Structure 1
Amino acid sequence: MILDDLQKVIIVEGKSDKQKIKSVLNESACIVCTNGTLGQTKLEELADQLYDKDVYILVDADESGEKLRKQLKRELPDACHLYIDRTFKEVAAAPSRHIASVLLRANINVHTNFLDG
């Protein structure tokens, strides 16, 4: 996996999570899909590539998401952990308005139309 020159990196579990975040973002950020849990080697490679980046972790509010979050916490102790409301369970299933507010609280720019109302 080659990361581009973007400073902000958001780590998610799957492609549908990536699409959801991409739709509300109003700034450039690299969105990395783990496709579930990562093996130790892949995790270490990812950590090496992210050492000088602003890393945000946004995973599902379920058992597999928490397992991944624990793995990432060990390898990326300086990462900022973002959480969706447990009632939505999955990032992809959460309303765009909710995702936008989670990202905004982390000082990530979002499209303002998701903040109306």
Structure 2
Amino acid sequence: MNQEEIEKVIIVEGKSDKKKVEKIINESVEIICTNGTISVSKLDEMIESLFNKDVYILVDSDDSGEKLRKQFRREFPEAEHLYIDKMYREVATAPEQHIAIVLLSANIDVHAQFL
């Protein structure tokens, strides 16, 4: 698949988050893992490569997720932030149906079986 064709990017924290989201989405979306933290230089690099793409931030509802979200708000204000319910805390442990609804609300196509 050619990178220029992919218009949407979802940024998640970890590999388990990425696997969960990949299973649910039903369109070509690039999923980037930050592995929990990201340096300013790495973030600058990422922002440059994401120019002209729809970027979504989907991180955990915990302290490290909120810290990462604040960093993205500051450095990449164009990104759209997606939120999982605080009762689930982590993207990886949230029910697939809940994540599907969150993604669908951002106009990201999901497999019907998760709705």
When normalised by structure 2's length, the TM-score is 0.95
| Residue in 2 that maps onto 1:54 | 54
Q: Kindly provide the CA deviation profile for residues 26-50 of structure 1, in whole angstroms up to 9, marking residues without a partner as x.
A: 0010000000111110011111111
Give the 5 Å matches for 1:1-117: 4-5=3-4, 6-115=6-115
SS of the aligned residue for 1:71 comes to helix
CA RMSD of aligned residues (A): 1.0
- What one-letter code is carried by the residue in structure 2 that aligns with 1:18? K
Structure 2: tracts of 5 or more residues without a match = none
2: distance between equivalents of 1:17 and 1:109? 17
Structure 1 residue ranges without an equivalent (≥5): none
DSSP 3-state at the match of 1:55: strand
Q: CA deviation at 1:52?
A: 1.0
Q: Secondary structure at the match of 1:31?
A: strand
Q: Which letter does structure 1 place at the counterpart of 2:96?
A: S
Distance in structure 1 (CA, Å) of the matches to 2:47 and 2:59: 17
Offset of residue 4 of structure 1: 2.1
TM-score (normalised: structure 1): 0.94
For residues 70-100 of structure 1, the C-alpha deviation after alignment (integer angstroms, 9 at most, x for no partner) is 1111121111100000000000000000000
Q: Give the length in aligned residue pairs.
A: 113
Supply the AA of the counterpart residue of 2:35: N
Residues of 1 paired with 2:64 and 2:3: CA distance?
Answer: 28
